[in-house]
């Protein structure tokens, strides 16, 4: 089955830049989307189509692609950005959704 | 108010069945693909199934194919997930979500989830 691979955890100090990667063999043929999930809450999409920011998402969130790896970057991370982050895409056929395993971001 | 609300979760024995519902409001339900996603306790997100606007296109994850059935009732703004032959490993919070664009399957509106516990 198709997989997306993320690091389990990333830690940064407030104000630093956090980078979370997501690797998948089908990338870049399929777009990647990023979700933020805080404890006890449903996920919220923060990046769509690899690098677009939906309305209402702070400018410090950005996405980029390099070959088969996409990266979520949070420039000037804040304490409120501490959460689990998931990348999401589709398999090569586009008939099956897939999530990465998630990355816990600690801002401390 | 634009929202999705799941219901129907609960405790069920292994081998049992459960039907989840997702009630949509505040938007034109029939204009959107919809999806079910689950999250086991302390674990990550797992995509389960898509259904197209009319219900004519349906996809399942391998982990639930043949056991779960997705359906929708556009007249009542409802989506369902019929879950049969439940296993302990199906224990999770089940979310319904709206697919933002029919050509790009990302999820821009989520419910708060309903907990399904499979245990003897």
Q: B30 φ, ψ to 5°?
A: -70, -5
Chain A, nearest residue to B41 by Cα: A40
> Distance, in angstroms, between B68 CA and closest chain A CA?
15
Question: From CA A55, how far away is CA A46, in angstroms rounded?
Answer: 9
Nearest to B50 among A37, A88, A97 (CB): A97
Distances (CA, A) of B72 to A59, A69, B30, B58, B69: 37, 36, 9, 11, 10
On the 0-12 / 13-18 / 19+ scale of CB atoms within 10 A, A18 is buried
Beta bridge partners of A52: A48
> Distance, in angstroms, between B42 CA and closest chain A CA?
10
Residue B36 has what pLDDT?
98
Residue A93 has what pLDDT?
83
Confidence class for position A2, pLDDT limits 50, 70, 90? confident
Whether pLDDT at B87 is above 90: yes
Question: From CA B100, how far away is CA A48, in angstroms rounded?
Answer: 10
Task: Give per-residue pLDDT as tens, B44-54.
Answer: 999 999 999 99
Residue A42: its chain B contacts at CB < 8 A?
95, 110-113
Question: From CA B111, how far away is CA B29, in angstroms rounded?
Answer: 14
Confidence class for position A25, pLDDT limits 50, 70, 90? confident
Whether pLDDT at A13 is above 80: yes
Which of A25-39, A60-74, B67-81 bottoms out in mean pLDDT, i.e. has the lowest? A25-39
Confidence class for position B103, pLDDT limits 50, 70, 90? confident
Contacts of A65 (CB under 8 A, 6+ apart): A27, A28, A32, A50, A51, A71
Whether pLDDT at A28 is above 80: no
A28 preceded by cis ω (within 30°)? yes
Whether pLDDT at A67 is above 90: no
Whether pLDDT at A26 is above 80: no
Chain B, nearest residue to A104 by Cα: B44
> Distance, in angstroms, between B47 CA and closest chain A CA?
6
């Amino acid at each position: 089955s198709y997989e997306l691979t993320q690091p389990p955890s990333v830690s940064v100090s407030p104000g630093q830049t956090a980078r979370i990667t997501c690797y998948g063999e089908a990338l870049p043929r399929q777009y990647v989307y990023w979700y933020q999930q805080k404890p006890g809450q449903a996920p919220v999409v923060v990046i769509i189509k690899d690098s677009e920011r939906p309305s209402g998402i702070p400018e410090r969130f950005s996405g980029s692609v390099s070959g088969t790896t996409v990266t979520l970057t949070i420039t000037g991370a804040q304490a409120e950005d501490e959460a689990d982050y998931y990348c999401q895409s589709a398999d090569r056929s586009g008939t099956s959704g897939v999530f990465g395993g998630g990355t816990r971001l600690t801002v401390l | 108010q634009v929202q999705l609300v799941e219901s129907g979760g609960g405790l069920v024995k292994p081998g049992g069945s459960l039907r989840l519902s997702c009630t949509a409001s505040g938007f034109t339900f029939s204009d959107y693909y919809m999806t079910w996603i689950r999250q086991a306790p302390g674990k990550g997100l797992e995509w389960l199934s898509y259904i197209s606007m009319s219900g004519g296109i349906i996809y399942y994850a391998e982990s639930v194919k043949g056991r779960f059935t997705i359906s929708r009732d556009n007249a009542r703004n409802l989506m369902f997930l019929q879950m049969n032959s439940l296993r302990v490993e199906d224990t999770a919070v089940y979310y319904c979500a709206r697919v933002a664009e029919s050509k790009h399957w990302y999820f821009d509106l989520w419910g708060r989830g309903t907990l399904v516990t499979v245990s003897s």
